């Protein structure tokens, strides 16, 4: 019992992900690790999973994770001496439209950067890989030679066996029933006795919410019912397989939303249907205490269309007899990505749960989770999976609606101007109704509805109009006009939802100073401050506005609310409180060369104070405000911070004074022209502060996290460097993580891209090999498969290089 009662880290949940976490923790040297499973290993979603192992993803970080999984699985059986059925068959992903082929070409570019040889097949080439498919209505396909399928139970057992070989432990039939934090360790209650541990990991699969509740955590998830069908042997397929000596590649018809895989000498068909079915989502359908190794009843009517479509696409399927239906639970977060990382607000606790594609992601997830626990950070920036991307406002109805939407559009393309419609209007600006009346087209930012652009009467604002990767659309002339209004006159941007955190108490300023690489501004001034991890990589950016040494406020990205609060809580001294004012204060950006003229008619504040100055006690339109002399648009401007109740009167006065409303799409264009970085695009842990060109924000005269790493990097020199690029783009601007080429070699990647309406050309921000990061150097940007010429611009902003307009 003594051996069982203590561990350095405990993993709760014995599916593929939990076993992978155990394996990777042991591999990292943390062999005093224990996995607790309430039933037998694989008893949750793992045992009934189809076991597909794609590398494809339109997300850079998730592609990294899945690529690692595929690589790990290829050698795992031999490494741990455990036999596994892993078939690397390749896959053919069918495209029905120009837009789908553009998506494929983008993924091919990302895959090539990551060392994978993905390729595009023309319609006449598809049958060379998959001879039984009808191709008459296709535009092409993506071929992935690394795709395949694995036996999920064997994978889990192999990972567990490898972990045990290194000294880690697995305890089956041992549910955790309660958790208590003593201030120094976790005490977990089980029927076999208490377990004490330093760290704990929730790998509870579709039971993750139940596990999370023991830690006071409401896990943002719901559960879907997913069916796949197994078909009997087809003689023609059997004969073909014996003749060529291999299985068919896995076929995905992503526009019809299903996969079709050769299973022995028959088929496995897995649709993602819409409408779909949520389970355990209503009071009359509660989650059972134990659903181990159980399935839902068949529900074939729901997927009848997909069966018929698959039979028309691969007529061979009509010859097969249906032998089995698997209908099991799969968990979903609101965006379909898993939760991997720190458990928000809970000490020494982590999550590795809510995996929709747990088998193909388990290997990479175990690696990432082990890095979080043992090193406090991950090799790749994993914000796409960080639990802190959700901030607690997501209620049950939202979770169910968004989960069903993601499932029903599992292979959907995420176009830049499309707003997925489920569960809107969770958090509204106090002037939301006014924006709506002005034609605002909204998108959510941490649940807050912000105007993206303003439509005029007659503009096509339908869903269909947004189904393009291109710049052109009804929004394009409107965004152009909004940018020009900011350039030539004065614009106003409604900006609800900024994260606003305050450190209050003796030592507040000293605490913040110890965490950041930057020098804090003095009261009456504001400034950007940057935070590094132990490797010197960019963790976050905050705007610091100190009122005094005992009262220091920071403003940061809306979605960074939980993430950045975590940073400020680290080592919080006694007597210093961290307060969250995010929901209490509202903000408008008023900017453009006529901004001073407009505000002069509405305020007696001192509008001659210089750039980056702060007036805490000012009035606009007779209402109390804080007036901050700054503009993310890169023009003369102010941020007006006010009480939510006062916002409508202030907004009305600004509009009456001649300010033109502009939206987030215009702001994105304006900030890229100025080289201003955006969080988790240009600013991520994929780059160090020095690579990110943030040298001028580093105060080397004090100690801060990451300083030794940055000093060492400064001495040896950076390998890549932040640049602004002038891009000779076609109909599309460079999306995030577009590959940069020079003389046939991959030399970097973009981190942002947009048309610059003030400079009159397409622009991109990115990271480039340091020897090429020289003004005038010509490179190529791969935009949806086409390599477009780009020129490195001089350091500093492309627009108003000397910042004369900002300082006017």
Could you report the average pLDDT of every consecutive run of 10 residues in the chain (808 residues)? 79 98 98 98 96 95 97 97 95 98 97 96 97 97 97 98 98 97 97 97 97 98 97 97 97 98 97 96 94 95 97 97 97 98 97 97 98 97 98 97 98 97 97 98 98 98 98 98 98 97 98 98 97 98 98 97 96 96 97 98 97 97 98 97 98 98 98 97 97 97 98 97 98 97 98 98 98 98 98 96 96
Q: CA 389 to CA 339: how far, in whole Å? A: 9
194 in Cβ contact with 6 (< 8 Å): no
Q: C-alpha distances in angstroms, 770 versus 423, 716, 718, 767? A: 45, 12, 7, 9
Q: What residue ranges in 562-715 does DSSP mark as E strands?
A: 577-580, 585-591, 614-620, 623-628, 637-643, 660-661
354 φ/ψ angles, rounded to the nearest 5 degrees: 60, 55
Burial track 376-415 (b if 16+ CB lie within 10 A, e otherwise) = ebbebbbbbbbbbbbbeebeeebbbbbbbbbbbbbbbbeb
Biggest alpha carbon–alpha carbon distance for the chain: 87
pLDDT given for residue 763 in this prediction: 98
How many angstroms separate the CA atoms of 264 and 267, rounded? 8
Residues paired with 325 in a beta bridge: 229
Q: pLDDT tens digit string along 202-253?
A: 999 999 999 999 999 999 999 999 999 999 999 999 999 999 999 999 999 9
Residue 2: predicted pLDDT: 43
pLDDT (0 to 100) of residue 4: 75
**pLDDT score of 108:** 97
- Which pLDDT value is given to residue 1? 39
Q: At 86, phi and psi to the nearest 5? A: -130, 115
Give the H/E segment covering residue 726: strand 720-727
Single pTM value for the model: 0.97
> How many whole angstroms separate alpha carbon 594 and alpha carbon 637?
9
pLDDT of residue 3: 59
């Amino acid at each position: 019992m003594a051996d069982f009662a203590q561990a350095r880290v405990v993993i709760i949940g014995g599916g593929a992900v939990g076993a992978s976490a155990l394996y990777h923790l042991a591999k990292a040297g943390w062999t005093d690790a224990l996995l607790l499973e309430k039933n037998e290993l694989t008893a949750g979603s793992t045992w009934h999973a189809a076991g597909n192992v794609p590398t494809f993803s339109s997300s850079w970080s998730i592609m990294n994770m899945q690529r690692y999984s595929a690589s790990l699985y290829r050698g795992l059986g031999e490494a741990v001496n455990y036999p596994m059925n892993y078939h690397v068959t390749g896959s053919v992903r069918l495209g029905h439209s120009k837009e789908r082929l553009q998506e494929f070409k983008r993924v091919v570019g990302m895959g090539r950067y990551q060392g994978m040889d993905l390729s595009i097949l023309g319609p006449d080439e598809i049958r060379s890989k998959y001879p039984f498919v009808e191709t008459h209505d296709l535009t092409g396909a993506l071929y992935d030679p690394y795709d395949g399928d694995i036996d999920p139970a064997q994978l889990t057992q192999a990972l567990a066996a490898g972990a045990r070989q290194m000294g880690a432990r697995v305890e089956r039939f041992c549910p955790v029933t309660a958790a208590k934090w003593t201030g120094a360790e976790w005490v977990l209650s089980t029927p076999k006795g208490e377990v004490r541990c330093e760290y704990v990991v929730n790998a509870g699969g579709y039971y993750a919410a139940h596990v999370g509740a023991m830690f006071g955590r409401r896990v943002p998830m719901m559960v879907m019912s997913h069916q796949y069908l197994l078909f009997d042997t087809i003689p023609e397929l059997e004969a073909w397989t014996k003749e060529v000596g291999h299985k068919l590649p896995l076929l995905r018809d992503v526009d019809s939303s299903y996969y079709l895989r050769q299973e022995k000498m028959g088929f496995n068909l897995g649709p993602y249907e819409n409408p779909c079915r949520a389970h355990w989502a209503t009071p009359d359908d509660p989650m059972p205490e134990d659903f181990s190794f159980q399935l839902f009843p068949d529900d074939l009517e729901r997927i009848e269309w997909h069966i018929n479509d698959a039979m028309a696409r691969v007529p061979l399927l009509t010859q097969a007899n249906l032998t089995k239906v698997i209908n099991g639970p799969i968990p979903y977060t609101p965006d379909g990505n898993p939760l991997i990382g720190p458990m928000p607000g809970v000490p020494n606790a982590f999550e590795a749960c809510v995996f929709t594609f747990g088998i193909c992601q388990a290997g990479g997830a175990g690696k990432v989770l082990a890095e979080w626990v043992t090193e406090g950070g991950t090799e790749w920036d994993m914000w796409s999976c960080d639990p802190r991307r959700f901030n607690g406002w997501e209620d049950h109805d939202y979770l169910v609606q968004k989960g069903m939407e993601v499932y029903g559009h599992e292979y959907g393309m995420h176009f830049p101007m499309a707003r997925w419609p489920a569960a809107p209007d969770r958090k509204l600006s106090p002037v939301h109704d006014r924006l709506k009346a002005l034609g605002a087209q909204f998108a959510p930012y941490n649940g807050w509805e912000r105007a993206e652009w303003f439509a005029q009467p007659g503009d096509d604002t339908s869903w269909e109009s947004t189904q393009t990767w291109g710049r052109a659309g009804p929004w394009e002339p409107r965004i152009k006009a909004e940018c020009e209004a900011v350039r030539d006159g004065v614009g106003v941007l409604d900006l609800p939802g900024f994260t606003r955190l305050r450190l209050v108490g003796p030592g507040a300023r000293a605490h913040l100073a110890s965490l950041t690489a930057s020098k804090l501004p003095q009261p009456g001034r504001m400034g950007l401050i940057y935070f590094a991890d132990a490797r010197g990589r960019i963790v976050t950016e905050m705007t610091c506005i100190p009122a005094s040494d005992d009262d220091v406020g920071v403003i940061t990205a809306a979605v960074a609310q939980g993430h950045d609060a975590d940073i400020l809580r680290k080592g919080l001294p006694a007597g210093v409180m961290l307060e969250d004012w995010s929901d209490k204060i509202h903000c408008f950006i008023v900017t453009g060369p006529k901004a001073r003229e407009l505000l002069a008619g509405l305020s007696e504040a001192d509008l001659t104070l210089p750039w980056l100055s702060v007036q805490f006690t000012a009035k606009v339109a007779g209402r109390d405000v804080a007036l901050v002399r700054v503009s993310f648009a890169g023009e003369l401007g102010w941020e007006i911070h006010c009480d939510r109740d006062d916002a409508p009167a202030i907004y009305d006065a600004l509009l009456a004074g001649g300010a033109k409303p502009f939206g987030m799409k215009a702001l994105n264009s304006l900030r890229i022209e100025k080289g201003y970085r955006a969080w988790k695009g240009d600013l991520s842990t994929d780059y160090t502060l020095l690579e990110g060109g943030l040298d001028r924000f580093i105060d080397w005269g004090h100690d801060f996290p990451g300083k030794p790493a940055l000093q060492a990097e400064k001495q040896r020199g950076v390998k890549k460097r932040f640049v602004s690029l002038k891009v000779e783009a076609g109909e599309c601007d460079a999306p995030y993580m577009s590959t940069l080429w020079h003389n046939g070699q991959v030399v970097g990647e973009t981190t942002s891209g947009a048309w610059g309406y003030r400079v009159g050309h397409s622009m991109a921000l990115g990271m480039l090999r340091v020897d090429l990061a020289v003004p005038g150097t010509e490179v190529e940007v791969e935009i949806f498969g086409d390599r477009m010429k780009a020129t490195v611009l001089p350091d500093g902003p492309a627009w108003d290089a000397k910042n004369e307009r900002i300082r006017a």
